[in-house]
Amino acid sequence: MTRFLLIIITALTVAIAAPAQNIKQKFTVEKPNLEAIKKAVNDRNSPYYYPRLMKEYQRNDTLMKLDKFRHLYFGYMFQEDYNPYRPVAFKGHIPDPADNPDLTRSECDSVIALCERALDDNPFDLKRMMRLISALKMKGKNNLANIWQYKLDYILMSIVSTGTGLDEENAWYVVAPQHEYVLLNAMGLQAVNHVFYAPYYEFIQVKRPQTRGTEGYYFNIKTILDEYYRKYPEEK
């Protein structure tokens, strides 16, 4: 995890506005107004109109800041192809370069190609995004790795800026179940159990490396459940 992201997550999880290391703005914790976001991303005259926002994101620059990333991330829930349980676009295992430091250059090329393919299909496949970043660094493509790291940092900040995660009232919002675990892993935490609390909260119990005891964080998965039951009404 980058020092920049660590600073932001540490501050936001205790509900304090956090000054970024090299970004000239402060971040405050607030629940996403999903109805307002839905309206904005569907309004052609809005600076958050989703097709334009996604094009800006895909330009691989570092001009987008947290407000646009929050609209990009949560606005994805209101797009036609949104599926929180979307399968990977291809079958097969992608090795994690972080766990395989001896990958050959050819194997790194394969990881990069497969991760790019996954992200073309699902721009918020954060697990593959992390593997792409690792593979790019192993290949010495640091500029491109930094761009993807910037994207990942801001997506994770979009999540932690929605609350503290410490109780149901301040639960973090995510657009896919996978993101709960990616965030916790980025914070250096290991998920050991999860519990569902009606009507739409998930509590992930975690432990920190080299420490005793456990703690946990709450996630608001209302929209995920709504979409799941819309697709599979027989599961209600």
* Rounded Cα distance, 196 and 183, in Å: 18
Cis peptide upstream of residue 199 (ω within 30 degrees of 0): yes
Q: Is the pLDDT of residue 21 over 50?
A: no
Q: What pLDDT, in 10s, does the model give residues 143-190?
A: 999 999 999 999 999 999 999 999 999 999 999 999 999 999 888 888
Tell me how far CA of residue 71 lies from CA of 57, 86, 186, 201, in angstroms.
11, 20, 22, 22
The single-letter DSSP state of residue 148 is H
Q: What pLDDT, in 10s, does the model give residues 188-200?
A: 888 999 999 999 9
Q: Are 28 and 161 in contact (CB under 8 A)?
A: yes
